[in-house]
Amino acid sequence: MSQPANQSGTELDYLQAGERLRELLAPLKPAGLKEVFVATDVAAIANLGQHSPAVHVVYQGERESEGTQSGRASSFDQLWLLVLVHRASPKEVSAGVWLARILQAVSGRACGDSTFRRVTPPVKPSYSGGAAYLPLAFTTRVKFKGER
- Rounded distance, CA 37 to CA 85, Å? 11
Quote the mean pLDDT of the chain: 84
pLDDT at 136 over 60: yes
Backbone angles phi, psi at 60, to 5 degrees: -110, 10
CB 34 within 8 A of CB 93: no
What per-residue confidence (pLDDT) applies to 65?
76
Q: Which residues pair with 119 in a beta bridge?
A: 137
- Rounded distance, CA 112 to CA 102, Å? 20
